[in-house]
Amino acid sequence: MKRWDWHVGIGIGVFGLSVLVALPLWGGGPEGGAKPMTATAPKPGAAEMEKLNFYLGKWDYTETYGKNGGKNTGLYTSKLGPGGNSLVQTFHSQGPVRDFEGLLVMTWDLREKAYKAYVFGNELPGCVVETGRFEGDALVYRGELSMGDTKVALRNTTRNPAPGKIVSEEYVSTNGSPEKLLVRVEATKR
């Protein structure tokens, strides 16, 4: 008897899932024919994701760092993810502070009724997960990470003060200390 290859098992699983998803579309009407096309309801979370459309595009930006005032410049790109259910963003800045590069994915979490951001960067230990909500005109994300015995709390506020402009500020707190401004980012759309 031939042993199943794991690729075959995954293929069968994907096919089975495809059939289950598509089955309602194949179901016939009372006469067994195709059902008439009807307007589809908006996707859950679509309205929340549309609120983030101000991010879309390519942006030139300047990072100004807290106390020392060091400045980096960079390029930020934001595009819709698969099905419009997420934003996929890349960023890369260079300057006297350091060279930063990363990937950021934002989506709407139906269960939590909040935005989620998954941040990957060359200076980060793995993935940082943040939870966000609009507070007035600002999109505010909060997250935490640990570096050894140090617990770092993050708060990011982003505003779209005018078409083609974004201002974002990242605040940090270590081990429960008062928040301090880490970096202010000012971006202009290309």
Domain range annotation of the chain: 46-189
| pLDDT at res. 24 | 39
pTM (2 d.p.): 0.77
Q: Is the pLDDT of residue 166 over 70?
A: yes
Q: What is the mean pLDDT of the chain?
A: 84
Distant-in-sequence, close-in-space partners of 77: CB < 8 Å, separation ≥ 6: 57, 58, 59, 89, 90, 91
- Angle at the Cα of 90 from the Cα atoms of 84 and 91, rounded to 5 degrees: 145
Which residue spans within 55-149 are E strands per DSSP? Answer: 57-65, 71-80, 86-94, 100-109, 114-121, 127-135, 138-147
- Please name the CATH architecture into which domain 46-189 falls: Beta Barrel (2.40)
Lowest-pLDDT range of 32-41, 79-88, 105-114, 131-140? 32-41
Q: Is the pLDDT of residue 69 over 60?
A: yes
Three-class SS of residue 40?
A: coil
Distant-in-sequence, close-in-space partners of 184: CB < 8 Å, separation ≥ 6: 63, 64, 167, 168, 169
| pLDDT at res. 104 | 97
B/e letters for 97-126, b = 16+ CB within 10 Å, e = fewer, are beebebebebbbeeeeeebbbebeeeeeee
Q: Torsion angle, CA of 32/33/36/41, rounded to 10 degrees?
A: 60
Q: Is the pLDDT of residue 165 over 90?
A: yes
| pLDDT at res. 35 | 54
- For 13-67, what is each residue's pLDDT tens digit? 444 434 333 433 434 444 555 555 556 677 889 999 999 999 999 999 999 998 8
Q: How far is CA 111 from the centre of its chain?
A: 16
* Tokens found for residue 189: 């759309």
Query: Higher-confidence residue: 95 or 9?
Result: 95
The mean pLDDT of 64-89, rounded to a whole number, is 94
Lowest-pLDDT range of 14-18, 52-56, 126-130, 186-190? 14-18
